Amino acid sequence: MSAIAACRLMPVWNTEAFVQRALLLLGVLFLILGLLAPLSTMLLKSVQDHAGNFIGLANYAEYFTNPALFGSIINSLVIACWTTVIVVTCAFITAYALTRSGMAGKKGFRLISSLPLFAPSLLPALSMIYLFGNQGILKGWLPVDSIYGPVGIVMGLCFWIFPHALMILITAMSNSDARLYEAAKALKTPGWRVFLTITLPGVRYGLVNTIFVCFTLAITDFGVAKVIGGQYNVLATDIYKQVVGQQNFQMGAVVSVILLLPAILSFWIERRVQKRQTAQVSARAVAIQPESQPLQDNLLMLFCGGIAAFLLLVIGMAMYASLISFWPYNLTLSLDNYQFDMMDGGGWDSYFNSLRMAFWVAITGTAVIFLLAYLNEKVKALPLLRKTMQFLAMLPMAVPGMVLGLSYIFFFNSPDNPLNFMYGTLAILVLNTLVHFYTVCHLTASTSLKQIDGEFESVSASLKVPFYTTFRRVTLPLCLPAVLDISVYLFVNAMTTVSAVVFLYSADTTLASVAVINMDEAGDTAPAAAMAVLLMFTALGVKSFHWLISRELLARSQRWRHA
Amino acid sequence: MKLMAKARVLAAALGMGAALQAQAQTDLTVYTALEADQLKSYATAFEKNNPDVKIRWVRDSTGIITARLLAEKENPQADVVLGLAATSLLVLKDQGMLQGYKPAGVEKLSKKFVDADATPSWVGMDAWVASICYNTVEAEKLNLPKPASWQDLTRPEYKGHVIMPNPNSSGTGFLDVSSWLQSFGEEQGWAFMDKLHTNVDRYTHSGSKPCKLAAAGETAIGISFAYRGAKLVTKGAPIEVIFPSEGLGWDMEAAAIVKGTDKLQAAKTLMDWTVTRPANELYNESYAVVAMPGVAKPIKNYPTDIAERMIDNDFQWSAVNRSRILKEWQQRYDSKSEPKK
C-alpha cells in the first residue's frame, strides 16, 4: 500500500520539478530571444555592408573619418557631464533637506519633485521652447543666444532626470546612524567636518550610484535632444538620423555600439560598487530625528522652493501652451491643439494605441517578470541557468532604448526569422517595452521575494503541497505591494517611452509618444505639447488609481505586517 | 433561454457580416509625403466611390519615404506611392521598382504631368512651389527688410534669422537646392548656399516646419512652400508669402504602383481615381497648379500668376543627380554640428 502511494507520489514530485525546470528554461529562452539575440544581430550588422557581407571594421573606419559623426561623441559626453553635475548637486541638497532638516512642507516637495516621472522626456523640451525660445516668455533670462542647442538639452534633461536622482539619494540618506552624529556633537566637531567625515562617507555608495544613473540617462536620452537640440547632434539623434532619415542601418548599428559602450561601462562600475557595499546600518542603529535649525531650514526651504518652482513652471508652461489658439499672436484659450486627427503622427488613434500597449505591457510584464524572479529566487535546481537568468535580467538596464529598438528591427525583420510575423504588430512593441524596463521590475520583485522566508517552501514541500499552490496562496499575496508597483511602473513607462518604439511602430500601431515627435518634426509644436500633457495626465491618473487600489488591498492582505 | 438564443443568432449574424466585409475589402498600403491635413479628405473622397478598397497611409517626409522605399527594394511593403515628389519617383523608376500602368482617362491630363513612356510609370497630380514665409511682426522688431530674391537672403543682416528644410529629409528642401543649382549653375549654386548657410539658424526635418516656425515668430524667415504659407496666412499668422524674383523651384506630386504588389487590381483602381476631375479639384484646394487643365481655381492668399513664376525644372537632371547632390550638401552643411553663435 505504502509502496503504491510512494509510486504515485514520486511522479507528482517529478512533474513538479520538471515544471519548475521547464519554466526556468523557458524564462532564459525568453530573455535570450527578447534581448541577447537582437543585440547580437546588431553587433553583427555593424561589421557587415548593405548586402550583408562581412567587412570587418570598415563601417567603424568610415564613422571615425567623418567628423560630422564622431563629433557627436564629444557632444554627448559634454551634455551628460553637465547634466550629471547639475542634477546630482541639486538632488543632493534637496534629499538632504527632505531627510535631515526640520524644514516644513516636506511632503509637498516630495510630491512635486516626483511629477517629472510621469511626463515623457519630450515634455520639458517642448516647454523650453515656450519658456526660452525666440517667443518664450522668459527669453530675456536666457544667458545664451539660443535655447536650441546644448543649453536647452541640459535644461530639459535636468527636469526629467532630477526625480530619479532624488529617489536614490533619499534612500541613501535615510539609512544613517544617529549615534554617529551624537558622538560628533559630544566631541564638538564643527558642522563642515561632520558633513565631510560622517554624512558624505555614509552616502558614498548612493552618491556613486546616482552619478552613474544620471550619466546613463543623460547620454542615452533621445527625446529631449530631438526636440530642442537644433543643429547640435548627439549619439541618440544620430542613430535616428541614420536609420530613419537615411535608412543606413549599418551606420545606425555602429553608432549604437558606440552608445552602448558608456552605458555598459557605467553599468559595470555600478555593479562593482554594489558588491563592495556592506551593511552600514547595524541592528542597533538609531534613526535620525532631524532637529530644526531655523537658519539652515529656511535656506534649504528656499532652495527646495526654487526647484519646485522650476518643475511646476515647466509643467505649467506646457499645459498653458497647449491651450493657446495661436502662440504668440492669439492668446485666447481653446482646445484646437487637441484635434490630433488633423496632425501628423496618427491622431487620436495613436493615443488609444498607447493605452492598449501600456495595458498589455503592464499585464504580461508583471506576470512574466514576477514569475521569472520567483523561479530565480525560490528554485534551487539548475544553478548555472539561474545565474544566466540573473545576468540577463540585469542587462536591460545597460541597453539604451534606441539600441534595443534598432536591434529589434535587425532581429525580427529578417525574413529568415520564424518570429518575423511579430514585426509591425502591437506585440513587438509590448515585448520591446517589457524588455526595455525589465531590470527595475526584476529588482523590485526579487527584493520583495527575498523578504519571504524560505521556510514556507520547505514546509509546503514536506506537507506535499505543490509549489504553485504555495506560490498562489502564500508568495503572491505577500508580494502584492511589489506586484502592484511593478505593474504601474511598467504602465507609466510604456505610456511615456519614445526611444525604442520610434523604430518599431507601423501604420496601424502609431503611438502617442511617437506622435509627439512627428508633430514636432512637422512644426506643430503646440499640438505636440498637448499630446505630451495628455500622456502625463494619463500616467498620473493611473498612478492615483494605483494608490487608491493598493491602499485598499494592502489594508486587507497585509494585515499580518501590523499584527 | 429565448433571449440567449436570440443573442447568439445576432452575434453570429454580426460576426458573419464582419467576416464578409473583411473578405470583400482590400487594404491598400499607400506610402505618401502628403501633408497630414490632406490625408483624411483624399482617403474619404476615394473610399466613397470605392468602398471595397481601404487606404492605409504610411506618411513621412519625402526624403524618408524615398529612403524607405529604396531600402525595401528587395521586399517592398507598399502597394502604391501617392503624393511623392516626381524626382523621387524617377529614381525609383530607374531602379525598376515601378509597375507601368495607364490609368483610364490619363489623356485628359496635361502632357508634362505624365511620364512620357507609352505605358506611364507615374502620373502627376499637382505642383508645389518654393516660397519664403516672412514674419512681418518679428521682422519689424528686428529691423529686417523684406527680401525680394533668393540672393537677398545671403545679406549679413539676416544672419541667424533664416530657417530652411534639410534636403535629405524634406522634398521641399531638395527642390530648393536642385532649383538653385539649375538656375544659378552648379558652381554659383553651391557658392550661394555657402553664403546662405552662414545665415541659417538651423535645418528642419520637414518642409512645413520653417513656415510654421515663421508663423509662430520663432524665426523671421522660413524657406518653405506656397501652400503652407497661404494656409497659415488664412489662419491669421502675421506672415507674408514671398515669391523670390529669380523664379520658384517646384516639384510635382505624383502617384505610381509599386512593382510586385499582390493587390494590383486595387492599386489600379486608386491610380484611376488620381486622374479624375474630382480628384484634381481636391488637389486644387491646396495647390494652384494641378495636372488636369482647366480645373484650377484661384486659391485664397495665393498669387494667380504662379505658373509663370515657376522655373523650367529639369526633373530628369534632378533625379539622376539626386544622391550626388544630397551627399555633397550633407558634407558641406550637415557636419557643422556646433550651434552658431
Kindly list the distances between the CA atom of residue B82 and the CA atoms of A20, B33, B53, B264, in Å, as whole numbers in the listed order: 55, 8, 15, 15
Q: Residues of B with CB below 8 A from A521's CB?
A: 61, 204-206, 209
Comparing CB atoms, the residue among B63, B201, B217 nearest residue A135 is B217
With CB atoms and an 8 Å threshold, state whether A146 touches B335: no
What number of C-beta contacts closer than 8 Å exist between A and B? 110
CB A245 to CB B168 under 8 A? yes
Q: What SS3 state is found at B202? A: strand
Do A226 and A259 lie in a common domain? yes
Cross-chain CB nearest to A523 (options B138, B208, B341): B208
Nearest CA in chain B to A147: B339
Task: Give the one of B209, B334, B339 whose C-beta lies nearest to A232's C-beta.
Answer: B339
- Domain co-membership, A481 together with A422: yes
- ipTM at complex level: 0.85
Note whether A181 contacts B: Cβ–Cβ < 8 A. no
pLDDT at B191 over 90: yes
Buried b (16+ CB within 10 A) or exposed e, A3-13: eeeeeeeeeee
Average pLDDT value over all residues in chain A: 90
In a domain, A166, yes or no: yes
> Do the bridges between strand B250-258 and strand B80-85 make them parallel or antiparallel, or are there none, so unpaired?
antiparallel
Residue A332 domain-assigned (yes or no): no
Closest CA to A436 of A390, A500, A388, A372: A500
Q: Would you state the cell numbers that stand for residue B185, as one nine-digit string?
A: 549653375
What's chain B's average pLDDT? 89
- Proportion of chain A above pLDDT 70, given as a percent: 95
User: B67 and A247: CB-CB below 8 Å?
Assistant: yes
Residue A161 lies in a domain: yes
- Comparing CA positions, the residue from A128, A180, A120, A189 lying closest to residue A156 is A128
Q: What angle do CA B88, A522, A147 make, to 5 degrees?
A: 125
Do A122 and A65 belong to one domain?
yes
pLDDT of residue B20 exceeding 50: no
Query: For position B273, what pLDDT does the model report?
Result: 96
Nearest to B302 by CA among B131, B145, B175, B147: B131
Same domain, A401 and A537: yes
pLDDT at A281: 61
Q: What is the pLDDT of residues A288-337, one digit of tens each?
A: 888 888 999 999 999 999 999 999 999 999 999 999 999 999 999 999 99
Q: Is A335 helix (H, G, I), strand (E, B) or coil?
A: coil
pTM, full prediction: 0.89
Question: So what's the pLDDT on residue A416?
Answer: 84
Q: Which domain holds residue A152?
A: 60-277+291-322
Region A257-274 average pLDDT: 86
Q: Do B217 and A134 touch (CB under 8 A)?
A: yes
Residues of B in contact with A525 (CB under 8 A): 212, 216
A337 and chain B in contact, CB less than 8 A: no
Question: Which chain A residues touch B217 with a CB distance below 8 Å?
Answer: 134-135, 328-329
**How do residues A40-57 score in pLDDT, each as one tens digit?**
999 999 999 888 899 999
CB A446 within 8 A of CB A374: no
Which residues on chain B are in Cβ contact (under 8 Å) with A529? none
Distance from CA of B164 to the nearest CA of A (A): 12
Mean pLDDT, residues A476-505 taken together:
93
Do A314 and A415 lie in a common domain?
Answer: no
Sign of CA dihedral A323, A326, A329, A332: negative
Searching chain B, which residue's CA lies closest to the CA of residue A249? B71
Residue A372: per-residue pLDDT: 95
Minimal Cβ distance to A68: which of B160, B236, B337: B337
Chain A interface mutation, best of B218, B227, B231, B286, highest count of A Cβ atoms under 10 Å: B218
- Structure confidence at residue A91 (pLDDT): 97
pLDDT of res. A5: 47
Residues in chain B with CB shorter than 8 Å from the CB of A129 are 218
Whether chain B has a CB inside 8 Å of the CB on A327: the answer is yes
CA angle B28, B315, A240 (to 5 degrees): 55
Q: Say whether both A144 and A188 belong to one domain.
A: yes
Nearest CA to B170 out of B259, B87, B256 is that of B87
Search chain A and give the residue with CA nearest B330. A68
CB A220 within 8 A of CB A402: yes
A24 and A89: one domain? no
The percentage of residues in chain B with a pLDDT greater than 70, rounded to a whole number, is 91
| Count of beta carbons in the 10 Å neighbourhood of residue B284 | 18
Note the pLDDT of residue A270.
79
Are the beta carbons of B339 and A148 separated by less than 8 Å? yes
CB spacing of B202 vs A521 below 8 angstroms: no
Q: Are A211 and A84 in contact (CB under 8 A)?
A: yes
Closest CA to B212 of B230, B196, B229, B235: B229
CB of A342 less than 8 A from some CB of B: yes
Q: At what angle do helices A480-496 and A525-557 cross, to 10 degrees?
A: 170
Report residue B138 as a C-alpha cell: 518679428
Q: Please indicate if any CB of chain B lies within 8 Å of the CB of A134.
A: yes
Q: Check B205 against A521: CB less than 8 A apart.
A: yes
Distances (CA, A) of B197 to A35, A314, B191, B208, B235: 43, 33, 10, 19, 30
What is the distance of C-alpha A447 from the center of its chain? 18
Computed on alpha carbons and rounded to an integer, the radius of gyration of chain A in Å comes to 25
Residues in chain A closer than 8 A to B40 (CB atoms): 341-342
Does the pLDDT value for residue B341 go beyond 60? no
Q: Are A231 and B64 an interchain contact pair (Cβ–Cβ within 8 Å)?
A: no
How close does chain A come to B201, measured CA to CA in Å? 8
CB contacts, 8 Å: A245 with chain B: 63-64, 67, 168-169, 205
Write down the H helix ranges in A115-177.
122-132, 150-174
Provide the Cα torsion A87, A89, A91, A94; round to 10°.
-140
Same domain, residue pair A153 and A179? yes
A343 CB within 8 Å of a chain B CB = yes
Residue type at B272?
D
Q: Are both A416 and A488 inside the same structural domain?
A: yes
Contact: B339, A231; criterion CB under 8 Å: yes
In this structure, the answer to whether residues A434 and A517 fall within a common structural domain is yes
Whether A337 maps to a domain, the answer reads no
pLDDT in the model for residue B305 = 84
Strands B162-165 and B239-242, how do they pair? unpaired
Q: Do A245 and B169 touch (CB under 8 A)?
A: yes
C-alpha of A35 from chain center = 17
Q: Does residue A4 belong to any structural domain of this protein?
A: no
Rounded Cα distance between A367 and A363, Å, is: 6
Q: Which residues contact A422 (CB under 8 A, 6 or more apart)?
A: A412, A428, A431
* Averaged pLDDT, A425-431: 96
C-alpha to C-alpha distance for A196 and A199, rounded to whole angstroms: 6
CA distances from B304 to A194, B134, B309 (A): 80, 19, 10
Grid cell digits, residue A282:
547595524
Whether the pLDDT of residue A12 is over 60: the answer is: no
Question: Which residue in A has a C-alpha nearest to residue B38's C-alpha?
Answer: A342
- Compute the Cα dihedral for A301, A305, A307, A312 and give only its sign: positive
CA–CA min distance B250, chain A (Å): 20
Distance CA B113, CA B171 (A): 18
- pLDDT band of B36, cuts 50, 70, 90: confident
In chain A, how many domains are there? 2
CA gap A402, A500 in Å, rounded: 5
CB atoms B36 and A343 under 8 Å: yes
A3 within domain boundaries: no
Tell me if A231 and B238 make a contact (CB, 8 A cut-off): no
Predicted confidence (pLDDT) at residue B26 exceeds the cutoff of 60: yes
Judged by a CB distance cut-off of 8 A, whether residue A508 touches chain B is: yes
- The predicted pLDDT at position B14 comes to 46
A427: nearest Cα among A419, A416, A417: A419
Report pLDDT digits (tens) over B127-184: 999 999 999 999 999 999 999 999 999 999 999 999 999 998 899 999 999 999 999 9
CATH of the domain at A32: 1.10.3720.10
Task: Write out the H or E segment, with its range, that includes residue B270.
Answer: helix B264-274
Distance, in Å, from the CA atom of A181 to the CA atom of A173, rounded to the nearest integer, reads 13
Task: Tell me, yes or no, whether A549 and A480 share the same domain.
Answer: yes
Residue A400 is assigned to a structural domain of this protein: yes
Q: What is the pLDDT of residues B43-84, one digit of tens each?
A: 999 999 999 999 999 888 898 899 889 888 888 889 999 999
Sign of CA dihedral A174, A176, A182, A187: negative
Report the Cα A295 to chain-centroid distance in Å: 37
B340 to chain A: which residues are within 8 Å by CB?
A: 231
**Partner B contacted by A326 (CB < 8 A):** yes
**pLDDT tens by residue, B243-272:** 999 999 999 999 999 999 999 999 999 999
User: Partners of B254 in the beta sheet?
Assistant: B84, B124
- Cα end-to-end span (Å), chain A: 44
**Close Cβ partners of A509 (under 8 Å, ≥ 6 residues apart):** A353, A357, A424, A425, A426, A429
With a pLDDT cut of 90, the percent of chain B lying above it is 71
Residue at A213 is within a domain = yes
Same structural domain, A541 and A398: yes
Cβ of residue A71 closer than 8 Å to a chain B Cβ: yes
The Cα-based distances of A136 to A54, B164, B216 in angstroms read 51, 21, 11
Convert A167-193 to b/e letters by CB count within 10 Å (16 or more is b). Answer: bbbbebbbbbbeebbeebeeeebeeee
pLDDT tens digits, A349-368: 999 999 999 999 999 999 99
Domains of chain B: 25-127+251-298 (3.40.190.10), 128-250+311-334 (3.40.190.10)
Q: What are phi and psi of B137, to 5 degrees?
A: -65, -50
Chain A nearest-CA distance from B5, in A, is 32
Name the DSSP class of B104. Answer: T
Instruction: Compute chain B's Rg from CA coordinates.
Output: 22
One-letter amino acid at A245 equals G
For residue B232, what is the nearest residue in chain A, using CA coordinates? A326
| Dist CA A60 CA A241 (whole Å) | 17
**DSSP states along A285-354:** -----PPP-HHHHHHHHHHHHHHHHHHHHHHHHHHHHHTEEETTTEEEE-SGGG-GGGSTT-HHHHHHHH
The answer to whether the Cβ–Cβ distance between B168 and A521 falls below 8 Å is no
Lookup result for grid cell 542587462: A395
Comparing CA positions, the residue from B286, B133, B153 lying closest to residue B217 is B133
